[in-house]
Structures are given as C-alpha cells and as structure tokens.
Amino acid sequence: MSTSSVPLPPVLEKIVRRLQQTTDPKRRYEYLLWLAKRLPALPESQKNAENRVPGCVSQVFIIAALVDGKVTFEADSDAQLTKGLVALLVEGLNGLTPQEISQLTPDFIKDTGLDVSLTPSRANGFYNIFQTMQRKALLCQLEISMQSVADDSTP
C-alpha cells in the first residue's frame, strides 16, 4: 500500500485506502469536506500564533497533548477544504505515540492521490500541517521528559 518503510497506523491506512479507491477528484474533495464537518471547532482563545501552522495560505491551528503516552490533536482552519485535510491527519494520527508519529514519512500523502488534485499551495500546506503535527507530538514527549527530570531532581 504505502511506499513508506514504516507501516501506516490502521486508521490512517483506512483513510488512505478510501482515497485511493476514489478516482474522481470531486469525490475526494467531498470526502475532505465531510471530514471537515466532523472536526470540532477550536475555541477562539486557542487560535493564536503559538498554535498556527507556518507556511499555509489558510489559517490552520493545531494543539497537541500527551495523554497516557498517546498524542491527541485538536485543530481548525478557516478554509473548509484545508480543514478537511487537517481533519484527515487528526483522525489518522490521534492516539499514536510521539515515536510512531515521528517515524511516519509523508509518502502516504502521495498515496492518497490528493497531492495531484490539490493546488500546489494546498498540497504544500498539507505537508506543512503534517510536519507541524510531528513537531508538536515530539514537543509533547519532550515536555513530559523534562517534567520527569525536574520532578526527579526535586528534593
């Protein structure tokens, strides 16, 4: 399925497979818009520079938290199609460990077929969203590790 050497997590693989089976770009867009509708909006207070994805034409915001060793993402965008792209990633990456997320390569994006049907700026934004989610997952892990070190050094 994926050209990546690391197997895709089951939920992400299911999404990729569904998009591969859809050859009509319009149907792919409809699927993305459906995913966008399912993604809860972020509170306005979370739509800030710290949570903004750099390199996106649309405004995209992502929050990551580590719960029981697994990353949970919340996200939003001001453009519905972009919100669908971020929803695809949120659905596909939620519940994975930071290590699992960091080991993924963006090859699966090509496997979806979306990279050829999206405008170049949206396709680039999709990669930027994915890379931001990887960074935020690793930052969650780092914050927990640093807190653990701080707790261990406290008398």
Confidence at residue 147, expressed as pLDDT on a 0 to 100 scale: 62
* Residue type (1 letter), 50: E
Q: Is residue 153 part of a domain?
A: no
Confidence at residue 120, expressed as pLDDT on a 0 to 100 scale: 87
Instruction: Give the pLDDT confidence of 45-72 residue by residue, as tens digits.
Output: 999 999 999 988 899 999 999 999 999 9
Among this protein's residues, is 140 annotated catalytic?
A: no
The rounded distance, in Å, linking the Cα atoms of 106 and 116 is 14
Among 19, 56, 114, 137, the active-site one is 56
3-state helix, strand, coil in the chain (%, to 5): 60, 10, 30
Q: For the CA atoms of the chain, what is the radius of gyration?
A: 16
Q: Is residue 31 part of a domain?
A: yes
Q: Is residue 3 part of a domain?
A: no
Q: Is residue 2 part of a domain?
A: no
* CATH number of the domain encompassing residue 36: 3.90.1010.10
Q: Is residue 5 part of a domain?
A: no
Residues (pLDDT < 50) of the chain are 1-4
Give the E-state strand segments of 1-155 in sequence order: 60-67, 70-77
* N residues, the chain: 155
Tokens 């080991």 label which residue?
Answer: 103
- Domain range for residue 86? 10-148
Total domain count, the chain: 1
The rounded distance, in Å, linking the Cα atoms of 61 and 137 is 14
Q: List C-alpha distances in Å: 24 to 7, 18, 31, 88, 122.
A: 26, 12, 11, 18, 18
Q: Of 32, 18, 50, whose CA–CA distance to 122 is shortest?
A: 32
Confidence at residue 3, expressed as pLDDT on a 0 to 100 scale: 45
Q: Is residue 155 part of a domain?
A: no
Q: Is residue 27 part of a domain?
A: yes
Q: Is residue 67 part of a domain?
A: yes
Confidence at residue 149, expressed as pLDDT on a 0 to 100 scale: 56
The rounded distance, in Å, linking the Cα atoms of 55 and 35 is 22
